[in-house]
Amino acid sequence: MLTPGATIGILGGGQLARMLALAGARLGLKSHVFSPGEREPAYDVCAARTIADYANEAALARFADAVDVITYEFENVPAACADFLNARKPVRPGPKILAATQDRLIEKQFVQSLGIETAAFADAPNPGALARAVAKLGRPSILKTRRLGYDGKGQIMLQAGTDLSVAFRSTGGAPAILESVVPFTKELSVVAARGLGGEFRAYDVCENVHERHILATTIAPASIRPATAAQAVEIARKIGEAADYVGVFAVELFLVEEDGERLVVNEIAPRVHNSGHWTLDGAVTSQFEQHIRAVAGWPLGSTRRHGRALMRNLIGEDVEQWRELLTQEGACLHLYGKTEARPGRKMGHVNFVSEED
C-alpha cells in the first residue's frame, strides 16, 4: 500500500499518462513518466521524466529504482520490458494480462475459456491457413493481425471478391486471425476496476459510436435492458478475476439484437480507456483516479454518475472547435497539450453531463 508522497511510474507519455498523472496529483502522489518520445503530453504535468527506449535496461533500472509502483497507458508494452521492471518493482496490471491482450488469438481463447461469447475466429498464420479459415467462417469476414493493431490498423474486410493472398500481404504478412462479422446493433463497453485485494467496481455500461475505426462518442448509461447491463458487468468481473487483474480495464462488447439482447466480447483493453473519459466530469471518481487507487493498493472509489454523460472526442482538426466549446453551457473541455493536429490524432475531448439520469 503506497503512502501519499510516493511515486507512480508510468510507461508511455500520451494523453492517458497525462490524465493518470493529474489524477495521481490530486491524491498527493508524484508521477514519473517513461517514454521514448522527446515531447509528450504527460511531461508537462509530472514530477520526473525519463526519455529512453523501452529496451534500454539501464534506463529501466534507474526508473524502477526511482518509483514505488509501475503502470502503463498502452497494452503494447514489450514483454521483456514488463518482465524486467516487474522483477524490480510491482508492475500493475501484471505482465500476464499484457501477454493475453497483446495477441488477438490468445485474447479470444482466454475469453472463450471463461464461457463468454466472442466472434467466431480461426487462426491464419499464413495464406494457406487463411484459405481454410475463409472456407470455415465464410465472407464477409475480417482478417486481423494477431499483434499491434489499434484504431482499425492491421485489419481488412474480406468481401466476396477479395484476393486472399493480396489481403494477407496488405496487413503486413504477419500472423493473423480471421474473425466472423458480428451483426451488432450497438457497440458497448464496460469500464471496470479491480483492487489489489480483489475488490471490483464497474461504471455504468456505455454506448460507443466509432467513425473510421476511431471512437467518436460515448454515452453513459447505454440504452440497453437492465439484465443486459448486469450481464456486461458480470462479464467484466469474470475477466478481471480470471486475469487476477489490478487496475482499470475496459471490455468492448457488441450488442446483438436477435430475439432479445446478446453480448459478444470484442476486445479487452488492460488500461484506462477512451470510453471512460466521461468519468472525469460525470462520476464521483474518475477512471484515472480509480486506476491510481488500484495500482497504489488503495480502496476503490465510488463509480456513481452525476447524471447522463456524453463524451465526444476531438480528433485532428476538431480541436479547432475549442473556442466554440468554451462558450457552450456545461461543456467540459479537455485538451491534451499536443501541438500538431494530424488527421486521426486524438487531441482532446469534451464532456457534457445533464442533470437528469
Q: Is 198 in the site for its own copies (CB under 8 A)?
A: no
- Per CB under 8 A, the list member of 18, 92, 146, 312 interacting with its own copies is 18
CB atoms within 10 A of CB 297: 16
Q: Which is nearer to its own copies, 2 or 116 (CB)?
A: 2
Q: For the chain, give the number of residues.
A: 357
Nearer to its own copies, 18 or 273 (CB): 18
- What φ, ψ does residue 311 adopt, rounded to 5°? -115, 135
Three cell numbers written together for 273: 480507456
Binding segment toward its own copies, per CB under 8 A, in 114-122, 145-153, 262-270, 335-343? 335-343
Among positions 299-318, residues that touch its own copies (CB under 8 A) are 299, 301-302, 304, 306-307
- Assess contact for 44 and 19: CB atoms under 8 A: no
Q: Please state the closest distance from residue 71 (CB atom) to its own copies, in A.
A: 17
Which residues between 46 and 75 bind its own copies (CB under 8 A)?
46-47
Q: Which of 113, 226, 259, 339 is in the footprint of its own copies by CB under 8 A?
A: 339
3-state secondary structure 270-309: CCCCHHHCCHHHHECCCHHHHHHHHHCCCCCCCCCECCEE
Nearer to its own copies, 12 or 154 (CB): 12
69-72: strand order across its sheet: 48-51, 30-35, 7-11, 69-72
Do residues 268 and 239 make contact, with C-beta atoms less than 8 angstroms apart?
yes
Q: Which residues bind its own copies (CB under 8 A)?
A: 4-5, 18, 21-22, 25-28, 30-31, 43-47, 281, 284-285, 293, 298-299, 301-302, 304, 306-307, 319, 322, 326-327, 329-330, 332-337, 339, 348, 353, 355
